């Protein structure tokens, strides 16, 4: 087997995790995922200020402490921290190794960047064979730009076992392991619905490890003595995160998530087997990051009586000050009273900036009784947008430690994924399911997904017979009016919902859909 750990799930994750993973026990490879969709926008703005940037600078600081330790212990490092400039990060790492006197070799992957006029960044999601090529050439560190997150695990497995593009089941199995690892501590109890049941209450979950075998099966685990837990449910929670149909397309393989089987093998050890793969699609997903105007927000605290009248007065006063265009008003209840969130979206950074926020603060002594705001005035921020498109599969390039540039050809065998059935139509019953259900939700570009899993076969049967897309919209009013796709994953006792276009709303207070699952859990408990 090959033992692959993860030390980062996003740009800004626990900075000490790289050292913790290297000190915690044996590893063959340590990966780091930095490239959420929002990160590409951040890196795009960095590159506008300084063309030599565009990569995750925190990774360099982490490597200053950890690169020598990894080299001493024979642990190879694979990361997408190269972002929009993998060559730049590879060069910076070369300078770091020279300064510190560390003997290691660095390779990198490029070919994902595309030209889209007006965009901050446009990048194709590459596969894993470029990573494998660099590792085969002896790289101790491999840096990439935009790849699929799971490729961080699939690439080392390809290099270790010598898989080819025809080893579809093995590639699919490693993709599942990569999907479980890619968000770090989310697989070991982070953001877990039943966090109160974890041994340490979820205070400091460790980072995950995948022991990948030659057939693509794996065991998900973590270092001994670290927090959180690895259970069938913590792994299920990550498996249903940010997915759509069970046929999960990637650049190297379509992974059929409805074939995955999980089994608790021992404490903090979950075996993943049965994954089937079919040829990849003929196209690559492209993420296009851009800016659509500017945003700002101020929050008024409403207390006591006459809350409706107080909110109406604020609305009139703010509209008088800056005009109605681009304003939204959202009220939430609290034990103290209510919060009135006033947001603005405008192409003019000045109107959306201090002109708006200072006008709100100026009402402090001239508005409703008890007027108070939660923040001082602030500048507007760019309103970032992320859209997806597709291009035909094409080559990318692996740059080996000796500077050799190797073309990685696209897969010769491709297929359009067959349309997966959305699961049987639920039987609408009047009585909601009684069991306890876990959820995990997230973003897929402008769409949101909510995965719901049951804790027993009977509870799963009750869930699939009751929770339709229609009923989801009854429980979560914000879903109403949006197309909902519903998919069943019986091996996982799970149902996945994809809500189309939900996250494209400018007034949305949960822009990445992270809280949707917990809102649904609360509504399930309340439903008659």
- The 10s digit of each residue's pLDDT in 430-483 is 677 878 899 999 998 889 999 999 999 999 999 999 999 999 999 999 999 999
Nearest C-alpha neighbor of 212 from the set 165, 150, 138: 150
Lookup result for tokens 């022991």: 211
Confidence of residue 424 (pLDDT cuts 50, 70, 90): low
Please, are residues 30 and 5 in contact by the beta-carbon 8 Å criterion? yes
Q: pLDDT for 106-122, tens place per residue?
A: 999 999 999 998 898 99
Question: Of the given ranges (23-32, 88-97, 411-420), which has the lowest mean pLDDT?
Answer: 411-420
What is the model's pLDDT at position 379? Answer: 96
Burial class (CB in 10 A: 0-12, 13-18, 19+), 409: exposed
401: left (phi over 0), alpha (psi -120 to 50) or beta: alpha
| pLDDT confidence bin for 419, thresholds 50/70/90 | low
**Distance separating alpha carbons of residues 66 and 86, to the nearest angstrom:** 19
Taking Cα atoms as reference points, which of 177, 201, 62 lies closest to residue 128? 177
Q: Of the given ranges (15-19, 171-175, 289-293), which has the lowest mean pLDDT?
A: 289-293
**pLDDT tens, position by position, 168-183:** 999 999 999 999 999 9
Residue 506 has pLDDT above 80, yes or no: no
Closest CA to 114 of 433, 389, 417, 431: 389
- The distance of Cα 245 from the centroid of its chain, to the nearest Å, equals 17
Query: What was the pLDDT predicted at 37?
Result: 82
302, two tokens? 């409403």
CA separation (Å) from 68 to 136, 141, 520? Answer: 21, 11, 46
Three-state DSSP at 144 gives: coil
What's the rounded mean pLDDT across residues 392-418?
A: 96
| pLDDT tens profile 72-90 | 999 999 999 999 999 999 9
Percent of the chain with pLDDT over 70: 96
Whether the pLDDT of residue 420 is over 70: the answer is no
Which of 345, 385, 284 has the alpha carbon at shortest distance from 44? 385
Question: Residue 387 contacts by C-beta under 8 Å, 6 or more apart in sequence?
Answer: 287, 288, 290, 445, 446
Q: For residue 349, how many other CB atoms are within 10 A of its CB?
A: 17
Q: Six-digit token pair at 113? A: 């960047």
Question: What's phi and psi for 4, nearest 5 deg?
Answer: -115, 125
Q: Are 336 and 303 in contact (CB under 8 A)?
A: yes
- Determine what percent of the chain is predicted with pLDDT higher than 90: 86
Q: Is the pLDDT of residue 370 over 90?
A: yes
Helix (H) or strand (E) holding 263: strand 261-266
State in Å, rounded, how far the first CA of the chain is from the last one: 50
The pLDDT value recorded for residue 425 is 63
Name which of 295, 313, 409 is nearest 370 in CA terms: 313
Question: In sequence order, which residues have a C-beta less than 8 Å from that of residue 200 and are 6 or more positions away?
Answer: 227, 228
Are the CB atoms for 51 and 24 separated by under 8 Å? no
Residue 504, pLDDT score: 80
Strand partners, 498: 449, 485
CA distance 208 to 33: 13
| Rounded distance between C-alpha atoms, residue 188 and residue 236, angstroms | 11
Distance CA 379, CA 382 (A): 10
Residue whose token pair is 């990361």: 79
Q: What is the CA radius of gyration of the chain?
A: 24
State the average pLDDT for the chain.
94
CB atoms within 10 A of CB 421: 11
- Two tokens at 103? 């003997």
Confidence band of 219 (pLDDT split at 50, 70, 90): very high
Whether residue 508 is predicted with pLDDT greater than 70 in this model: the reply is no
Q: Report pLDDT for 225.
A: 95
Sheet of 261-266, strands arranged across: 261-266, 269-273, 218-222, 208-212, 2-6, 29-32, 76-79, 141-143, 106-110, 396-399, 405-408
Q: How many CB atoms lie within 10 A of CB 384?
A: 20
Q: Model confidence over 320-369: pLDDT tens digits?
A: 999 999 999 999 888 889 999 999 999 999 999 999 999 999 999 999 99
* Six token digits for residue 482: 């949006």
Q: Is the pTM of this model over 0.85?
A: yes
Q: Is the pLDDT of residue 422 over 70?
A: no
Cβ atoms of 67 and 97 closer than 8 Å: yes
Q: What is the distance between the alpha carbons of residues 86 and 141, in angstroms, rounded to a whole number?
A: 12
Instruction: Write out the DSSP string of 381-409.
Output: EEEEEEEEEEEE---EEEE-TTS-EEEEP
Contact 433, 297 (CB under 8 A): no
pLDDT category at 423 given cuts 50, 70, 90 is low
């Amino acid at each position: 087997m090959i033992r692959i750990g993860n030390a980062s799930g996003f740009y800004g994750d626990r900075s000490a995790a790289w050292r913790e993973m290297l000190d915690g026990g044996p590893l063959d490879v340590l990966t780091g995922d930095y490239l959420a969709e929002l990160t590409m926008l951040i890196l795009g703005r960095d590159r506008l200020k300084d063309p030599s940037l565009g990569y995750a600078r925190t990774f360099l600081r982490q490597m200053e402490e950890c690169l020598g330790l990894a080299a001493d212990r024979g642990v190879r490092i694979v990361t997408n921290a190269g972002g929009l400039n993998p060559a730049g990060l590879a060069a910076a790492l070369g300078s770091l190794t020279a300064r510190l006197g560390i003997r290691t070799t660095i390779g990198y992957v490029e070919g994902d960047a595309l030209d889209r006029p007006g965009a901050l960044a446009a990048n194709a999601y590459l596969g894993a064979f470029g990573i494998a090529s660099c590792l085969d050439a002896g790289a101790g560190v491999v840096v990439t730009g935009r790849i699929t997150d799971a490729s961080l695990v699939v690439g080392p497995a390809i290099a270790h076992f010598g898989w080819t593009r025809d080893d579809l089941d093995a590639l699919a199995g490693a993709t599942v392991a990569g999907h479980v690892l890619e968000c770090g501590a989310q697989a070991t109890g982070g953001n877990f619905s039943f966090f109160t049941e974890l041994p340490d209450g979820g205070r400091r979950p460790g980072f995950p490890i995948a022991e990948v075998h030659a057939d693509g099966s794996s065991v998900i685990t973590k270092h001994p003595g670290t927090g959180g837990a690895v259970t069938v449910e913590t792994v299920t929670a990550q498996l249903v995160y940010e997915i759509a149909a069970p046929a999960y397309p990637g650049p190297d393989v379509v992974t059929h998530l409805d074939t995955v089987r999980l089994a608790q093998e021992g404490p903090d050890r979950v075996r993943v087997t049965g994954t089937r793969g079919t040829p990849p699609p003929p196209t690559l997903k492209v993420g296009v990051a851009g800016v659509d105007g500017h945003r700002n927000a101020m929050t008024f605290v409403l207390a006591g009586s006459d809350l409706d009248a107080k909110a109406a007065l604020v609305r009139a006063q703010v509209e008088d000050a800056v005009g109605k265009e681009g304003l939204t008003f959202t009220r939430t209840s609290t034990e103290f009273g209510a919060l009135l969130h006033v947001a603005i979206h405008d192409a003019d950074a000045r109107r959306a900036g201090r002109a708006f926020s200072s006008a709100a603060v100026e009402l402090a002594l001239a508005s409703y009784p008890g007027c108070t705001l939660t923040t001082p005035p602030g500048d507007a921020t760019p309103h970032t947008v992320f859209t997806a498109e597709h291009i035909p599969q094409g080559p990318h390039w692996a740059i080996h430690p000796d500077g050799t540039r190797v073309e990685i050809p696209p897969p010769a065998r491709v297929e359009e994924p067959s349309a997966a059935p959305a699961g049987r139509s639920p039987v609408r019953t009047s009585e909601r399911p009684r069991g306890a259900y876990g959820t995990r939700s997230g973003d897929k570009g402008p769409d949101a997904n909510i995965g719901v899993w049951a804790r027993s076969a009977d509870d799963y049967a009750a869930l699939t017979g009751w929770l339709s897309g229609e009923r989801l919209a009854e429980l979560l009013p914000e879903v109403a009016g949006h197309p909902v796709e519903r998919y069943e994953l019986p091996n996982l006792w799970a149902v996945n919902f994809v809500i189309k276009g939900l996250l494209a709303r400018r007034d949305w207070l949960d822009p990445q859909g992270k809280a949707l699952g917990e809102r649904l859990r609360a509504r399930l408990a309340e439903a008659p």
